Amino acid sequence: MNPAVGVLTLELQISEAHSLKDKRHVVKSLKDRLRTRFNVSVAEIAGQDTWQYSVVAAVTVSGDRARAEQVLQAVEREAESVLGGMLASTGVEWLS
């Protein structure tokens, strides 16, 4: 068996945030939702001290790469639906 570790990176531009508190509310809500719905690990990995910018990563591990891809695609769709125009870009990286 060859486990698959996938990392989905979400770049957020939160233009309506006027403080770190505003931004953290959006980021925390997203992280909690993704953790609960998809059982993935989620962390803010960049932009912690910036009001209107954040990079969030979601990670999944599976014994089957196809299953890991399905999970990350579902996470990306959910993030798009929650964030709308705040989601600036996404990317997937596979670790071996």
The pLDDT tens digits of the residues spanning 11-64 come to 999 999 999 999 999 999 999 999 999 999 999 999 999 999 999 999 999 999
CA 62 to chain centre: 17
Tell me if the pTM is above 0.75: yes
Fold classified for 4-95: Alpha-Beta Plaits (3.30.70)
Query: Residue 2: pLDDT band by 50, 70, 90 thresholds?
Result: confident
Residue 96, pLDDT score = 73
The better pLDDT of the pair 2, 71 is held by: 71
Separation of alpha carbons 53 and 16, rounded Å? 11
